[in-house]
């Protein structure tokens, strides 16, 4: 029987990376967590971590590019765990390659998972949440939903599309006066296994553009977003910098990306150790939440902390500004110079 005091949370792409870290973060709140991904090895590892953290896990091998699988998973979740409270669309695949070297099949696959997977997950969640007029849908986005960079045209296109889709849906929910909460959590660069199993055509192994954050930082932001009615949340100052830079200085960002983003995404000190990738089939291994960049990854984001506490921060800044004005006025008063001399 469903316990109304616990949340039923669905996470796509839950077998590794940010999705897995998010599953564990929800488990610590006592949530019932449905884990959706293709690879059974990673799902089993994630389920064990969820149970160890105090949650209840349900694993459902699912390819989010197939809408029938996604809807069937949602039906199974509601039957076994109860009504879905939170649905997190996190599943993604990517290809690190120049546009001229990409195949049509690669573009189709990245869009099917990273964009259409978000659409299908959202539709499956809405189908059930609308009956109760409650629930929360989190789209895991990226700074690359605002700014495309070299070597990731397919992924950037998918994230742009997901943002457009989400904006359209948000307006529809507002029109219908729906109580369903919808938000996007846009991430900077994170230390996940994707850089070891993504398809690529680079001289070395793919790597994220620094600074890099641990996936638990994103997980904490996602859990926080289910309790706060933000339209969007940015995680990591680089995400904010990219969005603002592209808005106000797009040509400058064009040139910066052309000079920095190709070499910056290539780890020439590490050659590819395997020709296998997870684009069309999962890697039959449990890689966990973190990638190979532990020595470079940050465990916190001060930008995120300030954003989450923007109310108190604004009050402090206003108080500081008011105190500054008071001091300046007192110094500019005609009698101030005389008092200083005395």
What CA–CA distances, in Å, run from 108 to 65, 143, 326? 10, 22, 61
Q: State how far the Cα of 75 lies from the Cα of 224, in Å rounded to an integer.
A: 26
d(CA 190, CA 211): 9
User: 115, 120, 155, 234: which is the annotated catalytic residue?
Assistant: 155
234 is catalytic: no
- Looking at the DSSP bridge assignments, the partners of residue 11 are 35, 88
Residue 285 class from Cβ within 10 Å (0-12 exposed, 13-18 middle, 19+ buried)? middle
In DSSP terms, 277 is beta-bridged to: none
- Residue 12, helix vs strand vs coil: strand
How far are the Cα atoms of 46, 167, 193, 211, 311 from residue 301, in angstroms, in the given order? 25, 26, 20, 10, 18
Distances from the Cα of 230 to the Cαs of 20, 146, 205, in angstroms?
23, 18, 36
> Helices (H), strands (E): how many in the chain?
13, 14
d(CA 216, CA 18): 7
Alpha-helical segments (H) within the chain? 17-27, 40-52, 67-80, 104-110, 116-132, 153-175, 194-197, 215-225, 237-248, 250-264, 302-308, 310-332, 336-341
Helix (H, G, I), strand (E, B) or coil at 234: strand
Q: Is 6 exposed, middle or buried (0-12, 13-18, 19+ CB in 10 A)?
A: middle
Residue 221 to residue 225: CA distance in whole angstroms: 6
* Residues labelled as active-site residues: 155
């Amino acid at each position: 029987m469903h316990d109304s005091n616990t949340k039923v949370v669905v996470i796509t792409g839950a077998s590794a990376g940010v999705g897995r870290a998010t599953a564990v973060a929800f488990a610590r709140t006592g949530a019932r967590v449905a884990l959706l991904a293709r690879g059974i090895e990673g799902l089993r590892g994630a389920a064990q971590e969820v149970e160890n953290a105090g949650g209840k896990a349900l694993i459902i091998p699912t390819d989010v590019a197939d809408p029938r699988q996604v809807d069937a998973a949602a039906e199974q979740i509601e039957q076994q765990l109860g009504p879905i409270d939170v649905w997190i669309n996190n599943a993604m695949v990517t290809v690190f390659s120049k546009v001229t070297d990409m195949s049509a099949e690669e573009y189709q696959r990245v869009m099917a998972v990273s964009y259409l997977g978000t659409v299908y997950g959202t539709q499956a969640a809405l189908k059930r949440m609308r009956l109760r007029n409650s629930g929360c849908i989190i789209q895991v986005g990226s700074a690359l939903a605002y700014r495309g960079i070299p070597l990731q045209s397919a992924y950037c296109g998918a994230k742009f599309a997901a943002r457009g889709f989400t904006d359209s849906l948000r307006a529809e929910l507002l029109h219908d006066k729906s109580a369903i909460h919808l938000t996007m959590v846009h991430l900077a660069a994170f230390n996940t296994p994707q850089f070891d199993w993504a398809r690529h055509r680079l001289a070395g192994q793919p790597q994220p553009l620094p600074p890099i954050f641990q996936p638990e930082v994103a997980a904490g932001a996602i859990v926080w977003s289910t309790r706060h009615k933000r339209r969007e949340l940015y995680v990591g100052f680089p995400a904010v910098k990219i969005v603002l830079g592209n808005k106000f200085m797009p040509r400058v960002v064009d040139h910066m990306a052309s000079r920095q983003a190709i070499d910056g995404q290539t780890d020439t000190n590490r050659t590819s150790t395997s020709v296998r990738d997870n684009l069309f089939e999962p890697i039959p291994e449990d890689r966990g939440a973190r990638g190979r960049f532990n020595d470079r990854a940050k465990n916190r984001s001060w930008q995120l902390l300030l954003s989450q506490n923007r109310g108190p921060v604004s009050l402090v800044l206003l108080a500081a500004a008011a105190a500054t004005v008071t001091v300046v006025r007192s110094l500019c008063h005609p009698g101030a110079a005389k008092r200083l001399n005395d």
